[in-house]
Amino acid sequence: DARVTQTPRHKVTEMGQEVTMRCQPILGHNTVFWYRQTMMQGLELLAYFRNRAPLDDSGMPKDRFSAEMPDATLATLKIQPSEPRDSAVYFCASAPTGNYDEQYFGPGTRLTVT
Amino acid sequence: AQSVAQPEDQVNVAEGNPLTVKCTYSVSGNPYLFWYVQYPNRGLQFLLKYITGDNLVKGSYGFEAEFNKSQTSFHLKKPSALVSDSALYFCAVRDMRDTGGFKTIFGAGTRLFVKA
């Protein structure tokens, strides 16, 4: 049963610290999405990649957020410096080639910035 | 711009009764429509999608959804609810013309509570 994995599952950090979240998409999926979920804003698309290339990161605050795919098995989302308003659950999702609309979500990283 | 509205924050239904979770959408072109379910402390799971064809779409776990173009709705339904269906349900839409990217817009979610 293939799954998207995310690490860490929980992260508590102080304001100003760097945070790195990692995602391993399902093997063979070539589209990867990063979402943020908060009570106030719901589920927001931050960025997505196709074949490791960033297609759109317009949903991401550029000054502090960055997303990369160093290889096909790893996607990263970094926040530097982190702020309390970044507290949220961050989800990674992947989708298979040719069926981009069926997204498989990871369990999420719950980030708390104090 | 595309948008999705889920007018109910919560839906309560007794086990064994039919359930409906409502969704309306707005897109400039023709829509691709989706339903996802989220269980506590888990990521979203894909339930079903409408791309084209039959207005009644069947999905996982006995769920189905009906596309109504005139009412711009895509309500999720199940003939007989189970306690285990209790979860957060998200409707989502993508503009069919958005072939260069895949910006799927999600609704705010509706919490379904099925009482035994």
- For chains A and B, what is the number of CB pairs under 8 angstroms? 51
Coil, helix or strand at residue A85: helix
Nearest CB among A31, A104, A108 relative to B102 is that of A31
- Confidence at residue A63, expressed as pLDDT on a 0 to 100 scale: 92
Q: Give the tens place of pLDDT for each residue, A67-99.
A: 999 999 999 999 999 999 999 999 999 998 877
**Spatial contact of B26 and A79, defined as CB atoms under 8 Å apart:** no
3-state secondary structure of B61: helix
pLDDT of residue A2: 80
State the Cα torsion A24-A28-A33-A38 to the nearest 10°: -50
Percent of chain B past pLDDT 90, that is, above it, reads 74
Q: Mean pLDDT, to the nearest integer, of A3-26?
A: 97
Measure CB to CB from residue A107 to each of B36, B42, B107 and give the nearest one: B42
pLDDT at residue A62 is higher than 90: no
Residue B112, beta-bridge partner list: B11, B87
- A31–B43 C-beta distance less than 8 A: no
> What would the mean pLDDT of B29-45 be, rounded to a whole number?
90
| pLDDT tens-place string over residues B41-92 | 888 999 999 988 889 999 999 999 999 999 999 999 999 999 999 999 999 9
Band (pLDDT 50/70/90 cuts) for residue B95 is: confident
pLDDT of residue A18: 97
Number of C-alpha atoms within 13 angstroms, CB side, residue A1? 0
- B63 close to B80: Cβ distance less than 8 angstroms: no
Q: State the smallest CA–CA distance between residue A58 and chain B in angstroms.
A: 11
Chain-chain contact of B43 with A55 (C-beta, under 8 angstroms): no
Q: Which residues pair with B78 in a beta bridge?
A: B19
Token pair for residue A106?
């990871």
**Nearest to B67, CA basis, from B78, B57, B55, B79:** B55
Provide, as residue numbers in chain A, all residues whose Cβ is less than 8 Å from the Cβ of B104.
45, 101, 103
